Amino acid sequence: MDIIQWPPFLLASKIPIALDMAADSGGKDRDLKKRMKSDPYFTYAIKECYASFKNIIYELVIDSRERGYIQKIFDAVDEHIAEETLIKELNMSNLPTLSKKFIELLDLLV
């Protein structure tokens, strides 16, 4: 995934909006796609956040068997992203909770 790193102040406000839109989508990604097309920073924020999430998780998981499971999960997510079926096929209602838990994890690590 090619990622251009943008200054955090340009992207920071976009992630909470994307999380809420994905959680409230009910399996329909039309509004989120429309928002992504109209605001390029929205797309950059989502891609950069996901890439950072993957990198951090890969760094934290040491065991090769566990890494294999993590890889399968990310492969499935990446496949849905490529096919543009992510919101339709995966339950996004808990995405804000996952985000909060991930932030708590990062706070513990810092």
Instruction: Determine what percent of the chain is predicted with pLDDT higher than 90.
Output: 37
First vs last C-alpha separation in the chain: 27
- Predicted confidence band of residue 1 (pLDDT cuts 50, 70, 90): low
Whole-number pLDDT of residue 21: 82
How many C-alpha atoms does 17 have within 13 Å on its Cβ side? 15
- In this predicted model, which residue has the larger pLDDT, 77 or 87? 77
What is the per-residue pLDDT across 51-81, written as a single tens digit (0 to 9) for each? 989 999 999 999 999 999 999 999 999 999 8
Could you tell me the pTM of the whole model? Answer: 0.81
